Every structure is written in structure tokens, then in C-alpha cells.
Amino acid sequence: MSGLKVLVVGASIAGPATAYWLAKAGAQVTVIERFPELRTSGQAVDIRTAGVSVMRKMSGMEAQVRAKSTQEEGISFVREDGRPYGTIRATGNPDQQSLVSEYEIFRGDLAKIIFDLTKDDDNITYIFNEQIASMQQSESDGSPITVEFANGSATSKYDLVIGCDGATSRTRAIGFGCSVRDHIIPSNSWAAYFTINQDLLQGSRVGQGYSAVGGRFMSVGLDPSGHSRVLLMNIHSRGKLDATLPFRQASIHGDDSLKRYIAQHYQGAGWKSNYFMQEMMDSEDFYASEIVQVKLPSLYNGRFVLVGDAGYATGPAGGGTSLALAGAYILAGEVGKHTGDLAAGLKGYEQQMRPIIKEMQKIPPFITTILAPQTTWGIWLRNYAFAFIAWTGIADFAQKYLGAAFANTKTFPLPDYKWVA
């Protein structure tokens, strides 16, 4: 498919990975990103199953991920006074991840690694501060898509436009002629991330997690540079319809308003919550997002296609980063395999991805109960069950029942493709 002209929208994980593989398939790729620069915030994400397989096919990536890994050895769940009652550790086997993966890396570091692997490629161009304003494609004659940009880039024609702009993708709304909230399945939960300029774990490699009533979870993770990464996750009871509405309303008015909402919501949560809230108000790398799944009847519409969270966010099931890496590889592989027949390539992508998406979007049972019990009784029960599991060493056994995200690299075998570049 030499010479195919492709536009990729979004430079986080899915976008740069898609650019990497499409360039290998011989395409000329432009990546546009709405933000002025690569965003480096976020918590640790982990690479599992098919994601590990794709990473191993990307030149030098596994070594770089290892070098940047959070080196967190596990997470310890603590009581209100900070005393731990149970710890989950990584398995130590890179082919078999537990609740804690061997390939745990900060999202921003991972984005930077894939960006660096692609930024000097002659066939890949990055443009920041840019997004799509409109797209026109004529379904009947199969001619390229005409794209108008919002911030100065000249109107251009592309053979393929790929939306990699995350779960709340605006490009998806343009490409499918729907609204942004269509195809989003809320999980009634949200998460916020920021860094505190102090080592709260005092050199320990085991993170700490704490649950307060109302599904308010907090954790501190290790940052090798001597800082601490805080995660706040709020999980509402099932059945409570659209519990994230106040969060979304606050977010419309920007990060300051969102911080105020969160601070108010975490009032009286106990443990280190007061300190966290103070630090959050001044934090510069604050990032918060609703946790959703995305499910579409089709991943493409003519010459427009989705990769990553924009097409199949996994939400509370985890594993979104791995699925994005698999999607990037398979899309480029299928398009390259069906030279001259883009429709067949896109169809191949859809067919290969469907079973993987289906498995990865299964929400492991008990995940909400484990991370965020709603009541004092629930927390008490969870703590004791957890202490028991940790004490008896049956955690490995329990993890086997936590769903596909914790399966091994052989669970989703990837097709082999021939690459031209």
C-alpha cells in the first residue's frame, strides 16, 4: 500500500503506535494533537497480554519500557491509620501478569517512548495545537476524505483518517455523524491523578491504597524520581444512574472547578485525604477523567476508522493501553496485507479486533468490591477477606479469576504480517 496518505488524530498511546505501524506498512502519516505538546501526566498504566506481544515487535521498546518501569513491587491496602492489612505483588513472570504487572510504566513515559520511536521517521510528521474541524467523504465514488482543520493547517485529502483521540473522541462524533456521548457506556466512576513533590512511601517499592465509604479510593504510587503519584478513584454503587454528572458539569468549567468539586467530595474521607486535597489544589500536572467503556457496532465508516480508547475504551476492565497497541498493529497489518483494497483491510481489522475487544471489555467480577466498597460493613468485610487472602498466599489463585486482563501473552495470539519499511 505504498504511498497511502494517512491522518492520525491524537498523540497519546494509540496515535503514535498507529503511526509507527502504518509507516512500516509504507504509508505517509501525519499525526495531529490538540494539545501544544506531548502530555506527560497520568498514573501508571500496565502492558499485558497482546500489548506485550506488540511491544516486543517494536524496535527497542521492551528495553526502554523496562528501564522506565515504575519498579513498584506491589500495592498494600491500608487502614485509616495507615496500617497495612494485605499486599498484592507482581508475579515476577513477565509472561503472566497478576493484578500488578511487570510492565508498569507511567502513561506519559510510555507516550514519550513511542513518540521518540516515531518522531524522526521521514514518513511521519507531528503537528501539535491542531484538530479536525470537518471531514467530507463521498461514500459512492470511493475518493479520498477531505479534511478541514481548526487551527491553520491547509485543507487536505487523505486516503484514511484514524481517530485516536480517546474515549470522549470528538473526531468519532464527526466521522460517524453522532454526538460525543453516543457509544459511551458510563461506569459511574471517575479518576484523578497528580504528583506530590515528596516521597510519601519513604523509599519503599510497595504503593499504598485506601478505601473510604462512598466508594472513595485513594492510592499513592512510587515515582523513581522521588515524587509520589496520587490516584483518586471514585466508584459509585451500581444502579445509581449517571452518578458522574456533577463531575462532568464541574469539568466543563476547567481544571480549577474540577479540583474544587473533588476536594469537596473527598472531605472527611480519612487517611491522608486532607493533605492530598491541599496538594491537589496547587498541582500542575492534574489530570482527571470519567471512566467509561466505548462500544460501537462498527469500528469504521468509509475511510474513517478508530484505534484505541476512541473505538474500544475498556474502562473499569483495565487493559486499555494493551488493546490500543494491539489495535495499532492489527490495523496497519490488515491495511498493508490488502494492498489496493482499503475496504478489505478495514474489514480485516474489525474481524481481528472483535474477539479481543469482547474479552478485554469484560469487567472482572468483584473489581468494584475490592477497590471501592461502598459501606463501612463492605470495607470491614473486604479488609478481612483481603487480609486472609494475603496471609494464606492464595492471592495467585484468586487472581486467576479476575478476568482476561490478567491472562498471559498467549491468550490473544497476534497475526504475523509482512512489512515494507
Ligand X SMILES: Cc1cc2nc3c(=O)[nH]c(=O)nc-3n(C[C@H](O)[C@H](O)[C@H](O)COP(=O)(O)OP(=O)(O)OC[C@H]3O[C@@H](n4cnc5c(N)ncnc54)[C@H](O)[C@@H]3O)c2cc1C
Q: x/- binding map, residues 23-42, to ligand X, per CB under 6 A?
A: ---------xxxx---x-xx
CA distances from residue 406 to 208, 333, 402, 412 in whole angstroms, order as listed: 21, 25, 7, 12
CA dist., res. 145 & res. 406, Å (int): 39
Number of residues this chain uses to bind ligand NAG (CB under 6 A): 10
Residue 156 bridge partners (DSSP):
147
> What does residue 45 show for φ and ψ, rounded to 5 degrees?
-115, 160
Which C-beta is closer to ligand NAG: that of 129 or that of 369? 129
Q: Choose the one of ligand NAG, ligand X, none that binds residue 59, judging by a C-beta under 5 to 8 angstroms depending on kind.
A: none
107 touches ligand X by CB under 6 A: yes
CB 106 within 8 A of CB 70: yes
Q: How far is the CB of 6 from ligand NAG (least distance, A)?
A: 12
129 contributes a contact to ligand NAG by CB under 6 A = yes
DSSP strand pairing (287-294 vs 184-196): antiparallel
Position 290 contacts ligand X (CB under 6 A)? no
Exposure string of 120-138, with b = 16+ CB inside 10 Å and e = fewer, is: eeebbebbeebbbeebebe
Burial (CB < 10 A; 0-12, 13-18, 19+), residue 411, is middle
Residue nearest ligand X (C-beta atom): 308
- The dihedral over CA atoms of 100, 294, 12, 316, expressed in degrees to the nearest 10, equals -20
In the region spanning residues 135 to 164, those forming contacts with ligand NAG, defined by CB under 6 A, are 151
Say which amino acid occupies 87.
T
User: By C-beta, is 34 or 272 nearer to ligand X?
Assistant: 34
Q: Pick from ligand NAG, ligand X, none: which does 186 bind, CB < 5 to 8 A by kind?
A: none
Regarding 20 and contact with ligand X (CB under 6 A), the answer is no
**Part in contact with ligand NAG (CB under 6 A); list of ranges 50-58, 116-124, 234-242, 338-346:** 116-124
The minimum distance between CB 123 and ligand NAG, in angstroms, equals 4
Nearer to ligand NAG, 381 or 421 (CB): 421
Q: Which stretch binds ligand X (CB under 6 A): 234-242, 305-313, 350-358, 381-389?
A: 305-313
**Which position among 186, 316, 320, 348 is part of the footprint of ligand X (CB under 6 A)?**
320
Using CB under 6 A as the binding rule, the residues of this chain from 38 to 97 that contact ligand X are 39, 41-43, 45
User: Which C-beta is closer to ligand NAG: that of 245 or that of 420?
Assistant: 420
What's the CA gap between 388 and 381, in Å, rounded? 11
Query: Which positions lie near ligand X, rule CB under 6 A?
Result: 9-15, 32-35, 39, 41-43, 45, 107, 131, 164-166, 170-171, 193, 287, 308-310, 320-321, 324
List residues near ligand NAG by CB under 6 A.
2-3, 23, 26, 121-123, 129, 151, 421
